[in-house]
Amino acid sequence: MVNASALVLALLSASAGVQDPTRPLSGPAMAVVQDESQPATPRPSLQAIFTGGGVASAILDGRRYVQGDTVGGYRLVRIAGERVILEGQGERLILSLFPSFDNTDTP
């Protein structure tokens, strides 16, 4: 019959290379890998649009812009209704005040 202490020691020595699942990760396992698919600059965030009283303007990332201004590497092309159109960095961005209200699914 095998001694219980010897069995425990054998199990502990066999699992020496296995990481304790309750211990926080450290070393190379925690290396942060930058996702190359993410844009170099963050996309601007639209907070408000003002169209009355002359020149239309929009609040993006807390600052007021008018058509033709540069917003974080993009040029503000158009301000219309509830949307602004930005172009730059090889893409066209259409930012909406209410992106969750997409009515394309309505009959």
Q: Taking every pair of C-alpha atoms in the chain, what is the biggest distance, in angstroms?
A: 94
Report pTM.
Answer: 0.56
Q: How far from 71 is each of 63, 65, 66, 84, 98, CA to CA, in Å? A: 9, 8, 10, 11, 20
Mean pLDDT of the 64-86 span: 94
Considering only residues 19 and 44, tell me which one the structure prediction assigns the higher pLDDT: 44
Q: What is the pLDDT of residue 35?
A: 54
Q: What is the pLDDT of residue 49?
A: 95
Q: Which residues pair with 47 in a beta bridge?
A: none
The torsion angles phi and psi of 8, rounded to 5 degrees, stand at -65, -45
Mean pLDDT of the 83-99 span: 91
Mean pLDDT of the 35-47 span: 71
User: Count of alpha carbons within 13 Å of 23, Cβ hemisphere only?
Assistant: 7
Where along the chain do its domains lie? 46-98
Mean pLDDT of the 45-66 span: 93
3-state SS assignment for residue 62: coil
User: Count of alpha carbons within 13 Å of 50, Cβ hemisphere only?
Assistant: 11
Considering only residues 16 and 43, tell me which one the structure prediction assigns the higher pLDDT: 43
Band the pLDDT of 21: cuts 50, 70, 90.
low
Q: Give the dihedral sign, CA 48/51/54/58.
A: positive
Residue 83 has pLDDT above 50, yes or no: yes
Band the pLDDT of 37: cuts 50, 70, 90.
low
Amino acid at 39: P
